[in-house]
A and B are shown apart, each in its own frame.
Chain A
Amino acid sequence: MADSMFVSILSAAVSSGTPVLYAALGELVCERSGVLNLGVEGMMLVGAVSGFLTAVRTGSLAAGVLAAIIAGGCMGLIHAFMTITLRVNQVVSGLALTLFGTGLSGYLGKSVIGVPLSATFHQVPIPGLSSIPVIGTVLFKHDLLVYLTYIVVPFLWFYLYRTRPGLHLRSVGESPETADALGVNVFSIRYASAVAGGMLAGLGGAYLSLAYAPSWLENMTAGRGWIAVALVIFAVWDPFRAMLGAYLFGGIDALGFRMQVMGSGVSSFFLKMMPYVFTIVVLIIVTATAARRSSRAPEALGTPYERE
């Protein structure tokens, strides 16, 4: 009994961690190129509402997901234009986009609050793999968007560390002057990374509104975009560690939810607070122990690039 509850919490950790994981991967790509994106929360919300609206109108989940990715990408493009072309302070632009995204999504979503979806993502157990004890249930009884992360995470790692475009992406975030002097196009790489980051954040939002909830609620991300920003630091800009961090967050989230349902007597507000407290604590520990060279932020993170 306790065993099966343990397994079900782990399984919930994966699905609860997935939207944060998408957003964190987006932030990771963006930051690796040297662009700090504090607009993730807004981008997730815009993705969530665009995906939901489209899915309601068309009845197609695929169209919804696509719309979320495009909407997130557009937000990323705005951020890129502001910070790369106009060289607006990245923090200011990001915060503005979060405020903008929160407002815009609330406005757009007014009509669909509480509207049910005709089709939602549901579990597609992977034949064979899903019957492995424990692991099968935890990892392989989910929906397609969860499985997609199993491909995206290793691919992103491979891309960053084992390919030339990945090397160029990292160099732009570490030392744009160096990259530029060697003919690497700093502007286009940063633009592409910011847009890709927005797309992944939008996809994370769509996971919330189309698979996890599945419904639209104003401000439904509830700070997950901010958690994603923090997770990237926790993950020292590594995709696999971002995955681990997202599942840890998801696990505590799921645990709190379970305790609430079982009536543990602990205030539900306290339980909802736990994942965020946990994130802060982890960040403090990581930052305090991260004196090692290998675990530093990209050198040029947050600095606009301008040819002298």
Chain B
Amino acid sequence: MGTVDYAVEMRDITKRFPGVIANDRVNLAVRKGSIHALLGENGAGKSTLMNVLTGLLRPDSGEIRVRGAKAALRSPAVAIALGIGMVHQHFRLVQTFTVAENITLGMPRPRFRLDMAPIEQEVARFSAEYSLAVNPRAKIWQLSVGEQQRVEIIKMLYRGVDVLIMDEPTAVLTPQEVRELFETLRRMTADGKTIIFITHKLDEVMEISDRVTVLRAGRNVFSCDTRDTNPRELASKMVGREIGRAPQRPSVAIGGPVLELHELAALGDRGITVLNGIDLDVRAGEIHGIAGVAGNGQRELAEVITGLRRAASGRVCICGKDMTNSAPRSIIEAGVSHIPEDRLGMGLAPNLDITLNAIMKRYRSGEMSRGPVMDEARARGWTGDLVERFSVKTPNLRTAVRLLSGGNSQRLLLARETSCVHKLAVAVHPTRGLDIGATEAVRSILLKERESGVGTLLISEDLEELIALCDRISVIYEGRIMGTVGRDQLDLEEIGMMMAGMATAAKGDERSEASV
């Protein structure tokens, strides 16, 4: 092989933020034409390191070499001029602009008069060359998430980027789109381009990368060629300990139904039917999973059950009582807890402190107040207990919730939702975006719920999670339940086919299960 040709070398990069060292003398060397995985939990310093490399942040110390030459990456523009570009996890796209407009944004030429036709042609050319199918004239908001990601990639190719950083690119994609993305990435490396692939998914590291670097708590702890390592080793490097086995599931007596949906239909935000003839039940002491690719009606399903969206037809029965289109408050009082998808938007009030968030469902009952006045001492005492029991890490009880990490705010939300009297919990993507530690905590809370006889409707895109936790899994596709499988008859392939809209024999199982 001779001398190694590095596209990018980062040496002893240190970056401090008030109170934390995000990067502590991190080293990263990326070979030209390779796919280099950057692995680490949330908060390990991956994003900071990449923001340094793309010129968004300036390191406190350290040196960066691009193609062997020392580089001062003062701004994203300088980084791009040196051929380094990034596709962020949250896309940087102007929603109201067309694809071509987004791609030409920030380019120096043409200087004034902007004729879109030649730009659109060039976009189409890149799109064909790397099989990144997208219509140059479509507005961004009309595109699927996968298509938007393609726009981001074309945007970088258009700028002549040859070191492309992808920040958790598969988090938002369907399995099919992941395959297409990997195909594109391989084509790009075959073309001599270099890719840095940020992820915390081990199977992806093994599948796509040539080399892997593991970051933990701001330091790089491990680097090697992917073929010389295995998922188990990477996982232990990433978390710094052996990963716990899948949580134990003691057997629990299944009780009567706490939630029954009959022929439920509802409209989405744009007035189109998004739920169609949903029949489903959740029994006391079981976790009923809803699997499916994002955007097939999961959010709307949770909203209809919790009273946040009107049902167009059909019935929602909670503990045997018809609660269709009842007010959210009556539904809460009927014993429904809600762990919404949008934690900080819908689940918690980010600018209020921990105590106020914790008592949000109890202040009406009078237990936290003296007459009309809040009993501060009692509220804090109670919240203190809760915070301790659920190990929410926080400086104090007056800390605003927005300052908590993702894992801690989710713990707080679960603490609140599971500490009130309830019979049904509706949890939507409860572990999305959390690191391994927090994910384990959330899962064990859900399992404790089950043991205490609560029925849980668990909506998740993470099949592994559903399989680890659920007693039954139903698959939703375009607003319909494609089928339901029990824990003992789990068949990954079958679930995968139903997620892709292909009906199987599982329909029959659902009936036999329901009649038990």
Contact = CB atoms under 8 A, between A and B. Distances in A.
B94 A175 contact: yes
B92 interface: yes
A181 B78 CA distance: 11
Interface in B70-104: 75-77, 80, 88, 92-97, 101-102, 104
A287 interface: no
Given A167-B104, A171-B97, A180 B112 contact: no
A164 B112 contact: yes
A174 interface: yes
Contacts, number: 70
B370 interface: no
A307 B105 contact: no
Contacts of A308: 56
Contact of A168 (B80, B93, B105, B155): B105
B141 interface: yes
A299 B112 contact: no
A162 interface: yes
B104 A177 contact: no
B113 interface: yes
A180 B76 contact: yes
Given A167-B104, A182-B105, A177 B92 contact: yes
A179 interface: yes
Contact of A164 (B94, B102, B110, B155): B110
Interface string A166-209: 11101100110111111110000000000000000000000000
A178 B94 contact: yes
Given A182-B105, A183-B77, A184-B105, A299 B96 contact: yes
A166 B92 CA distance: 19
Contact of A183 (B76, B93, B155): B76
A174 B107 CA distance: 17
A180 B88 CA distance: 14
A293 B138 CA distance: 14
Contact of B111 (A164, A178, A307): A164
A165 interface: yes
Contacts of A183: 75-77, 80, 106
Nearest to B141: A293
B114 interface: yes
A131 interface: no
B114 A179 contact: no
Given A171-B105, A181-B56, A163 B112 contact: yes
Nearest to B54: A181
Contacts of A162: 113-114
A183 B110 CA distance: 15
B351 to A, nearest CB: 15
Nearest to A177: B92
Given A168-B105, A181-B56, A184-B105, A174 B111 contact: no
A166 B102 CA distance: 13
A159 B461 CA distance: 45
Contacts of B76: 180-183
B110 to A, nearest CB: 6
Nearest to B76: A181
Given A179-B105, A179-B106, A183-B77, A167 B92 contact: no
B106 A168 contact: yes
Q: Which of B107, B111, B141 has the most CB of A within 10 A?
A: B107
A294 B95 CA distance: 11
Contacts of A163: 112-114
A65 B80 CA distance: 44
Contacts of B114: 162-164, 166-167
Interface in A252-308: 293-294, 296, 299, 307-308
A271 B165 CA distance: 64
A296 B141 CA distance: 13
B113 A178 contact: no
A178 B93 contact: yes
Contact of B105 (A178, A294, A299): A178
A23 B114 CA distance: 27
A174 B112 contact: no
Contacts of A164: 104, 107, 110-114
A181 B104 CA distance: 13
A105 to B, nearest CB: 37
A135 to B, nearest CB: 31
Contacts of B141: 293
Contacts of A182: 76-77, 80, 92, 105-106, 155
18 contacts: A163-B112, A164-B113, A166-B114, A168-B105, A171-B105, A174-B97, A177-B92, A178-B92, A179-B105, A181-B56, A181-B76, A181-B88, A182-B76, A182-B80, A182-B92, A183-B75, A183-B106, A184-B106
Given A164-B112, A177-B92, A178-B93, 10 more contacts: A163-B114, A164-B104, A164-B110, A164-B114, A171-B94, A179-B106, A181-B76, A182-B76, A183-B80, A183-B106
Interface of B: 56, 75-77, 80, 88, 92-97, 101-102, 104-107, 110-114, 141, 155
Give 8 nearest A-B pairs by CB, closest first.
Answer: A182-B106, A183-B77, A178-B92, A174-B94, A183-B106, A175-B94, A184-B106, A181-B92
